[in-house]
Structures are given as structure tokens and as C-alpha cells.
Structure 1
């Protein structure tokens, strides 16, 4: 259990009122921060339980009951006085949010994507540049949420199974890393600096962890409508081997870009999610989410987010560097067919990130200096 009470000068706006948004809101309020919460119009029902009761309860590794923060329904008012903006939303909202926020970004605001998937901060930068946003702001993205969490159905409450022992973060441009971390680690002491925002993107394990079981259990998902244990029943030794092979392709693509990556099983042990990394199957058997229920349909973020904003940009990097990723390509094709959407076309591209046609040297200079 971790309960912290203090007063801090930073004014934090949290964008997103899903599982992660609820957790971050409670966490930051318990730490003494001035918090404003905003949700996109299409997800605004997430705010209703909070508005109805005026309270937010958090259980698990973070515990407490807090008065709800200021809630804003207009983006300009939500971020007007914020010194730090935490974006905790589906990867598919990043472009829309960047366009909405651009006219109102000012001063030295810090904008952090938790997580950014692959290149979320770079997409924000491109849109800010197109919209003429004045320099001074800092963008950053993490490889994952700092929490393993789930909202409690029907209540203004969230359960935090795990406050991660460690997660990865980088600023864009990376030359701002030390300055950024001096502020951000006051919020999250468990944030660990890496070289650049592509290193965070390639260390997001969700595309490996979630996509393979979804594709191989598509029939079960549609039949059971969520009433089964997705990882316990859906990840057999054979399925786990496919996850391991996909992870090797991820590492290979990273290597072609000069990004040093370790097997995801080593990384996930550092977070506290699993108790064994002897094999993918054994890791899943010791996972916090072993008995979690599965997706209730194929229109679930395990496909609609982890493919277009995880696997697809990895694939585009591989294609650009002439790296063979047949398994990754096949999974994107299968997920596209299952979802009736061409993720090769609708997923995140190098052009969206503003890094197409760059050599590795040019890419590294851009990630470091922003130009």
C-alpha cells in the first residue's frame, strides 16, 4: 500500500478517464497535486460516476478516497493553467487530441503520453509544427502505463493491482531528458530514462502480449463475449511460442535502427507484472492478469490499438530498412481481416511521425535535437 500526502506546485491536467485516467487522477490527488480531468466527448460517460458521487475511490497498491478534481469539458479550459498534461487515451485519439490542443499550448508546458505507443510524441510534434505552435513546450512518451489497473464496474472506483516498479520514459527532443526528468520523477519516481522516444515505443510489450492471443483465439472471443480467462485459457505453449517469435522480430527491427532492446520477458520482470521469465508460457502463468477475463469482441483495444499503433509502425520501420518480418506482417493481415480494416493503411506511418526517408544518423539527430 502506498499513501502519500503532500502539496506540490505543479498543476496537472489528465486527459482520459478510463482505467489509467482514474488511477492517475487518484494517485496525483493523493500526492497533493492540483488536478484537472478532461475526457473526449465520445467517451464522456466515463465521467458520470464521478460527477454523480463527487468522490473517487482507489484500492490495491494505492489506497484512498478523494474528492473529484476539477472536471472540464472544453479542451482550452482544461489545459489553460496546466504545467503538466498527462495523456492517457487510446492511441487512435492522438492525432485528434494534438489538433484540438495545438491552439492552446503555451509557455513551457510538459505534455506526456502514457503510453505513446510507437511515435505518439512525434505525431504530436508534426501536428504542432503544422499548426504553428510556438516552441517552448516539451513532449514525452512512456512505454506503458505506470499502473496495472481496472475500474470497478458501476462505481466511481479503480483497483490498482500493481504500481509498476519501473517504466521507461523519454522526452522529445531527447536533449531535454535531464531537465524533463527532474520534474517528472517527482510525480513518478519509478520512471527510468532511455535514449529517445523510439526506444520507449519499441519497449511497449502490448503488441506482442495482446495481439497474438487475440488472433489465435478470435473464434473464442466472439463466442464467449468476454466470459473466459484470456491468458490462462488462450495462451497455450504453442501460442506462447508465437509470442516469443514475434518478440524476436521486434528486437531485430530495433537493431536495424540502432536501438538496443532486450527480450520483453526481461523487461516485464522489471515491472513486477510476472514472477518468472523462463519462457513465454511460464511468464504468462505467473502474470498478474492470468485470470483476467478476455475481450468481449474483436473491436477491442488489443486489436484496434495494439495493431495500428504498435505492430504497424514496427512493420513500416522494418519495410523501410529491408528487414524480414513475415510473422509481424501476417499478424497485421489477419488482424485487418478480423477487424474489417486495413491496418497497413490506417495504422501509424513514418510519414505521420515526420521521419520517412531518414538515414539512421539523421533519425538519431532528429530524436536528439528535434531538427
Structure 2
């Protein structure tokens, strides 16, 4: 599967590393406001991790060109704090094509609703599958540009909700190889309130 991770902070690097370690072709994007980690990942050709996740994971692309980052993406994962979701959505939404899936990780105060509103997608529009997770599945810190220490990866307690709910099963099927303990939430209200 082709996965694009948007956000190069603690969670973004851990997410990109984990999906790549599970055999997915991963592209990492961030805006030019955050150049250090993207530049180091591009120079190294991947991400180094220590702790509960260890090793080196090759990243197919790391940079600031959103068209390149989204090219042929099956799943787009927006990773960041609540205040980043709207901006990430503004950058990503105009370039999505029908059939792609977007997962806001974590929900961070109605992330899927924020994405849909920012993208101009009606709540029942299923051309793009949109959803969110209840939490970031990692306790992680960047220890140097392009390097993370993953203290813990959750094996349970990660809930996923599609918006509309009909997208939940598709999103779960896309991520369960990386997050085998992920479960379907009742709705985005559960994922947002649990966050």
C-alpha cells in the first residue's frame, strides 16, 4: 500500500517508520516551516528508531512537494496536534482524488469533522474515505533530526471511526497490519471524546 504521512514531528516520524517497517511504500511530507526532520530523512533515505521499535526504515520520499507526496497514495495519515489539522487539511484536500483515504491521527478535537469542513466535503460524501483515531498509538520523542525513540506502542485502546461511519471498516482494513489491536469506534464522537 502507498502511504503518505503528513507531519514530521514525533508522531509523524513514528508513524512513517512503522508503516515502512511493515512493508508499505511511505512518503513523508511537511510544510517548509518544518525543514529539519524532512531534510534529514531525505538525506538518509529513511528514519532511524530505537526503543520498542528499532532499526532503519526506508522512506520513498521526504520533502515539501505535496503533489509528489500524494502521488498514487492509497492512505494519507495526518499526524499532529489539534491546531495542525486545519492547516494540514488545507494543504492536502485540493490534491486528493476519489478513492483515497484520509486518517487524522489522533482525532484531536473532531479531526475528521475538521478535515471534511476544510476540504468542503459533505459529511455523507464517500468519494474520499475520511476518519480518525482516538489517540496517537505511540509514546515517542525525536532524539535527533530523522531519529526517534519509541518508548511504547499501544497494542490496544486505539479506536478508529470513519465519517460517515461506513468508512470505518475500510480504514481498519488499511491499518490493522500495523495496528493489530485497533478497533472500530461507535462514531467520531467516541474517538474525539476519548482523545
> After superposition, what is the alpha-carbon deviation per residue over 1:93-150, rounded to whole angstroms, capped at 9, x for unaligned?
222222222221112111001102121110111122269xx74111111111111111
2:146 maps to which residue?
A: 156
Q: What's the C-alpha RMSD, in Å, of the aligned pairs? A: 1.9
CA contact (8 A) 2:2 2:74 kept: yes
2:103 maps to which residue?
A: 112
The structure with the largest alpha-carbon Rg is 1
CA contact (8 A) 1:83 1:109 kept: yes
Runs of 4+ in 1 over 3 A off after TM superposition: 51-55
CA contact (8 A) 2:19 2:178 kept: yes
| Greater per-residue helix proportion | 1
The alignment of Structure 1 onto Structure 2 pairs a total of residues equal to 192
Counterpart CA distance in 2 for 1:31 and 1:54 is 17
SS in 1 for 2:87: helix
5+ residue gaps, structure 2: none
2:132 maps to which residue?
A: 141
Query: Quick one: which of 125, 148, 161 aligns to 2:116?
Result: 125
Q: How does 1:128-207 map to 2 (within 5 A)?
A: 128-129=119-120, 135-152=126-143, 154-166=144-156, 167-204=158-195
CA contact (8 A) 2:37 2:145 kept: no
CA contact (8 A) 1:80 1:104 kept: no
- Normalised TM-score (structure 1): 0.49
2:67 maps to which residue?
A: 76
Counterpart CA distance in 2 for 1:19 and 1:186 is 21
5+ residue gaps, structure 1: 1-9, 205-371
CA contact (8 A) 2:27 2:61 kept: yes
| Greater per-residue strand proportion | 2
Q: CA deviation at 1:195?
A: 0.6
Q: CA deviation at 1:89?
A: 1.8
SS in 2 for 1:56: strand
Q: Which has the higher contact order (CA 8 A, sep 6+)?
A: 2
- Normalised TM-score (structure 2): 0.90
Query: Is 1:14–2:5 an aligned residue pair?
Result: yes
Q: How does 1:275-290 map to 2 (within 5 A)?
A: none
1:66 maps to which residue?
A: 57
